[in-house]
Structure 1
């Protein structure tokens, strides 16, 4: 298995065709075809399905593609670190950020990071952890800041806890059930929730079953962005379960209402999540340090808005 073969494999997947891969890599179509065939022969497995409309991958090919992306991304990180040691700071950093961190600490973190590493090409992906997971898996994302769900591969990823945060069942301000005091009163309502593809059963158990209630699963809408979740809560009168801090920050302050339910939900952990056995680049370590510095500054602040935030947050490090 050779590096140029892995490059041809990844480029073909990204472009969807041999021709597109050749354009991306600046090689001839014959060179790309030869590299892919040599790779299949070396592994003695069919990796691609070739058709007039393009290429697709066998199950063997999909597995190898994931590892190929990881190898190429790790090599890119190594190159960036070596260039930094030579005195040239360059490279790319992709970070996944859970939405409530975007609304609170992200802007200050980015400004601080840009002062320290202005040559790094920074890419931010806002998304709940179910959105970040495939990018972490294939190595295109360096790390994510969010709450890792236990249903996801424990052996595949490593989490470094930063703080804990409270969560609440919420409705829009002025909702007919704003005075509800038990989740039992909300079972005839529709719900909008976020969960990983394999996490629905665990979330239903956490919110409902363990509290002695059953919900018709057809009442649950899965949303993969806070914008969708907010729209469903505000315009479709759905209930949701989210970090309590969301109702403390613009643009959601005064629009989302946490319900004072008898049922209690344990604090969740905000973590830095990365792929196990991978090495964070110097740029990634710097970004994490900037984030921690910003969070600690707000945690020690006596400003009214910061005090309101840290009624629902607790630093762990």
Structure 2
């Protein structure tokens, strides 16, 4: 088995086609077909199932790909680390952030990183932890910063708690319910439910109304996009419950407002920073990790929750998801 075999299996799995994988890698289809056949013969097992629309991984192929992704990531890191130890600060570093962390921290992270390593590639992804967990474990992503359910902790991951989180109810500027102070005043509202870090969070929101003796909220829109949620709020009377950092963005705060409900709070998983525990980062990736961690801790300290906050003050004081 050679490294190009691993590369070819990854390309075919990504594209779902031998021809498309060949185009991606700049080699002919017969060459990549021969490569896949060689490695399947070497392993004594099929990695792909052939069908009329292309190919898909077999269960053995899926297991092989998980290992292959780790090998590819470690080879990239090895090259990057050697270059960086020689004083050539090139290569790449990567991180994922949840939406609130991205809004609060992206500009200061990018600015500081680019100042230190102008020739390195910085890769950033906005997502929750579960969709990026595999990429962290394979080494494709160096670490994650954002809302994290600590019940998901794994022995292969290092998890550091940064701050507790809450959300706030957000409406368009000038909303007729903008001065509401209790959840009961919102009983007639219609809601956008954004995708949250986990399903229990979505259920917990509805239970707030039930515990207050109110009907379940009238949820008329479910989104998976930050942009879609903000556009829908800004152009309608729909409400949503979102990280308070959304109110801090210069691009957003001019056309949305918080509704300062005082009788309930909207908790969410704490802000954490998560990385693999069994392997050191490259020097450039370690700098990015330290920079992001310090930025998040400073942000949380600047907005430290007072002893007995109101719901809105509590939301404004901590870093939400």
TM-score range, shorter chain: 0.7 to 0.9
TM-score (norm 1): 0.78
CA contact (8 A) 1:113 1:287 kept: yes
CA distance in 2, matches of 1:151, 1:238: 32
- 1:206 equivalent in structure 2: 204
- 2:40 equivalent in structure 1: 40
- Residues 166 and 2 of structure 1, relative CA distance in 2, 3 Å threshold: same
- 1:159 equivalent in structure 2: 159
- 1:313 equivalent in structure 2: 318
- 2:13 equivalent in structure 1: 13
CA distance in 1, matches of 2:140, 2:217: 34
Gaps of at least 5 residues in structure 2 are 304-312
- After TM superposition, give the deviation of residue 24 of structure 1 in Å: 4.3
CA contact (8 A) 2:194 2:225 kept: no
CA distance in 2, matches of 1:226, 1:114: 25
- Residues 49 and 92 of structure 1, relative CA distance in 2, 3 Å threshold: same
CA distances 1:178-212 after superposition (whole Å, capped 9, x unpaired): 3151268447623322225xx32x11343233664
Q: SS of the counterpart of 2:228?
A: helix
- After TM superposition, give the deviation of residue 140 of structure 1 in Å: 2.8
- 2:97 equivalent in structure 1: 97
Gaps of at least 5 residues in structure 1 are 303-307
Q: SS of the counterpart of 1:145?
A: strand
CA contact (8 A) 1:136 1:143 kept: yes
- After TM superposition, give the deviation of residue 73 of structure 1 in Å: 0.9
Count of equivalent residues: 306
- 2:271 equivalent in structure 1: 270
- 1:287 equivalent in structure 2: 288
CA contact (8 A) 2:96 2:145 kept: yes
- Residues 261 and 61 of structure 1, relative CA distance in 2, 3 Å threshold: farther
Q: SS of the counterpart of 1:238?
A: coil
CA distance in 2, matches of 1:119, 1:146: 27
CA contact (8 A) 1:183 1:263 kept: no
CA contact (8 A) 1:96 1:124 kept: yes
TM-score (norm 2): 0.77
CA distance in 2, matches of 1:266, 1:52: 49
CA contact (8 A) 1:167 1:268 kept: no
CA distance in 1, matches of 2:29, 2:272: 44
CA contact (8 A) 2:100 2:244 kept: no
- Residues 64 and 232 of structure 1, relative CA distance in 2, 3 Å threshold: farther
CA distances 1:161-187 after superposition (whole Å, capped 9, x unpaired): 233343223333333333151268447
CA distance in 2, matches of 1:183, 1:210: 10
- After TM superposition, give the deviation of residue 92 of structure 1 in Å: 1.7
